[in-house]
Structure 1
Amino acid sequence: MTSPKNTAPPYPDTTEAFDAAERAMWKGRTEAYAGSFARLCAHPVEALLDAAGVGTGTRVLDVGTGTGTAAAAAQARGARVSAVDADAGMVAAARARGLDARTGVLPELPYLDAEFDAVVGNFVLNHVGRPRTALAELHRLLRPGGRIALTTWSARRGAGQDLLGRACAAGGAVAPAYMPRLDPAEDWARTADGLAELLGGAGFIAAEAAELAWDHRSGVEEWWSGAAGGVATVGLVVTSQEPETVVRIRREYERLSAEFVAGDGRLALPHLALLGSGRRP
């Protein structure tokens, strides 16, 4: 094993450190994300919009829009869409799709009180250091009776979600000295009940959540490209290794990925996530 090349600067506050690491982790990753994990995260979008009641004329905010997948789908439904993301590169990609996107970082977003009929966030809650404070901000942005819908990764994982992590372990990767870790005081139970409780605690009524399961279809090279491009936590691990370790990880990835090859030669990677929704009183 070799030691990781990169370390993050120390932060006295755990939440500050988490948020700083998340921002650094996504900076400059727009193209790598768009070519890999963006397709994975697109799977729940239609269910997300349904849960938020998004349709013709709905004033909707897509929080953590990334490259604008959920925002574009809402716009295709005839909604009046605004989109926001913490990363300027993601915002530029969303704008290139003709979306009204701007830069903003939870828990303080540049919108007026009660400005929206619906707020959606597709895999954004797991990237904020103060999830309850973030939900309070989203509550502020909704009109009375407005709906919120969020997806996030769950504690229960599909076998496909662990493929890259297994390859890292088998290849002898050592995690960087600092990885984004949520303050235990800010954490919550990553289950359907836990997400519903989190929403209810933020003041949303009729809060509910359910588990989503699907097989993500991807080419071997496409799925590897996200990690090799530094996307998400596994990408941070891969890109922090010495070159010889990356070679070993890649070799192990090719070996382990054979477990998931479908009849068309592509990977069928089982994934699990949570979809929660609620309404502002």
Structure 2
Amino acid sequence: MTADTFDAAERAMWAGRAAAYADSFARLCAHPVTPLLDAAGVTEGTGLLDVGTGTGTAALAALARGARVTAVDADAGMVAAARDRGVDARVAVLPELPFPAGTFDAVVGNFVLNHLGRPRAALAELRRVLRPGGRLAVTTWAARRGAGQELLGQACAAGGAVPPARLPRLDPAEDFPRTAEGLAALLAEAGFRRAEATELEWEHRAGLDEWWGGAAGGVATIGLVLTSQEAGTVVRIRQEYERLAAGYADGEGRLALPHVALLAAGTAQPFASCRRR
């Protein structure tokens, strides 16, 4: 799949899903926001770009710190949701952003790289809009997955789901190792000094229907898989989901779902001293 095809498939997959995302997986993706902002050095007065803002969670947390926040997202529905929450958000699509070079003191991207067909070109563009010495911090899902991340996929497999042919698949030439070392190396290649990355582990707590609702609403790849099935298959998947979910019950009416992600950060070098792709 070419990078353009991957990007088009990702945008189609997320179109119209802002409400379903807000009611389900948005809380999951909010977990790394505090360490993400810390890694980017976001404090009072920081000029921040939140790229791939979604419904605006990271942007709002930065505003609470007193930062001057601009947010962008490729999906108009996400932008509208963020604006409704008081975020200065607009539609913009990586790897081309509508800002002059050196505009921002810091850039954050919370679970954005995993939705891009050209991660290297995207990082080069984020480097461009940062001032020299500005900080970038990003998160993405890791190759090592927490057991809770597998629940919906296991239910789909056990229920007989047939993955659709149109699932977005990144061109191997654009991929990178989804490890702390691999992500740090990707940032260093894009011209970020002192690039470092680490794994984050946490248990996400969600209700049975809440966790199901994201996939049933078509959110992300698992949502595309689930909503592509025939009605009888969906019923079987739900039955398998309830059976498997019992192993994650926390005794208080919710699920405790272990997750693993990567957090990386680095400092922008001047363009004269870094290689641009």
Fold match (TM-score > 0.5): yes
* Counterpart check, 1:110 vs 2:79: no
Q: Tell me how far apart the structure 2 counterparts of residues 162 and 60 of structure 1 sit (CA, whole Å).
A: 34
What SS does structure 1 have at the residue aligned with 2:169? coil
What SS does structure 2 have at the residue aligned with 1:106? coil
Q: Tell me how far apart the structure 2 counterparts of residues 107 and 247 of structure 1 sit (CA, whole Å).
A: 40
Which TM-score applies when normalising by structure 1?
0.95
Which TM-score applies when normalising by structure 2?
0.96
How much has 1:76 moved relative to structure 2?
0.3
Q: Tell me how far apart the structure 1 counterparts of residues 222 and 132 of structure 2 sit (CA, whole Å).
A: 40
Q: Who is 2:172 aligned against? A: 184
1:129 to 98, 113, 117: 117
1:47 to 29, 32, 35: 35
- Structure 2 residue runs without a partner (length 5+): 270-277
1:193 to 158, 181, 184: 181
Q: Who is 1:166 aligned against? A: 154
* Counterpart check, 1:15 vs 2:14: no
Q: Who is 1:152 aligned against? A: 140
What SS does structure 2 have at the residue aligned with 1:22? helix
Amino acid at match of 1:211: E
Amino acid at match of 1:107: P
Amino acid at match of 2:184: A
Map Cα deviations across residues 40-94 of structure 1 (whole Å, 9 max, x no partner).
Answer: 0000000000000000000000000000000000000000000000000000000
Q: Who is 2:85 aligned against? A: 97
1:142 to 115, 130, 138: 130
Q: Tell me how far apart the structure 1 counterparts of residues 6 and 233 of structure 2 sit (CA, whole Å).
A: 26
- Structure 1 residue runs without a partner (length 5+): 1-12
Q: Tell me how far apart the structure 2 counterparts of residues 94 and 151 of structure 1 sit (CA, whole Å).
A: 19
Map Cα deviations across residues 90-114 of structure 1 (whole Å, 9 max, x no partner).
Answer: 0000001111100000000111110
Q: Tell me how far apart the structure 1 counterparts of residues 138 and 185 of structure 2 sit (CA, whole Å).
A: 13
Q: Who is 2:24 aligned against? A: 36
Q: Tell me how far apart the structure 1 counterparts of residues 66 and 209 of structure 2 sit (CA, whole Å).
A: 36
1:25 to 5, 13, 25: 13
How much has 1:263 moved relative to structure 2?
2.0
* Counterpart check, 1:58 vs 2:46: yes
What SS does structure 2 have at the residue aligned with 1:156? coil
Q: Who is 1:227 aligned against? A: 215
How much has 1:161 moved relative to structure 2?
0.1
Q: Tell me how far apart the structure 2 counterparts of residues 264 and 116 of structure 1 sit (CA, whole Å).
A: 44
* Counterpart check, 1:245 vs 2:262: no
Q: Who is 1:8 aligned against? A: none
Q: Tell me how far apart the structure 2 counterparts of residues 132 and 151 of structure 1 sit (CA, whole Å).
A: 15
Q: Who is 1:9 aligned against? A: none
Q: Tell me how far apart the structure 2 counterparts of residues 280 and 195 of structure 1 sit (CA, whole Å).
A: 16
1:87 to 58, 71, 75: 75
What SS does structure 1 have at the residue aligned with 2:162? coil
Q: Tell me how far apart the structure 1 counterparts of residues 24 and 98 of structure 2 sit (CA, whole Å).
A: 30
What SS does structure 2 have at the residue aligned with 1:181? coil
Q: What's the C-alpha RMSD, in Å, of the aligned pairs? A: 0.6
How much has 1:179 moved relative to structure 2?
0.8
Identity %: 74
The alignment covers a number of residue pairs equal to 269
